[in-house]
Amino acid sequence: METEELFRLLPLLAPLVLIQLALLVIGLVDLARRERTRGPKWAWALVIVFVSMMGPIIYFLFGREEG
């Protein structure tokens, strides 16, 4: 990929990168603060970090234990 192409795609990629980073940080902070989760915390941390943008979303939908 040429530098010129990269700069042309940057306005499209920057918001996605920022959303990914925000979801990652929010997910990990929530996981650290939560006393109980559905499953081991270490497994949820791996999902949040390694499953790209969907990892934090999966955690918020299925990993958090209310109450």
pLDDT in tens, the chain (67 residues): 688 887 888 888 899 899 999 999 999 999 999 999 999 999 999 999 999 878 888 888 888 877 6
CA atoms within 13 A on the CB side of 49: 9
pTM score, two decimals? 0.74
CA distances (Å), 44 to each of 38, 41, 48, 62, in order?
A: 9, 5, 6, 10
Rounded Cα distance, 43 and 65, in Å: 15
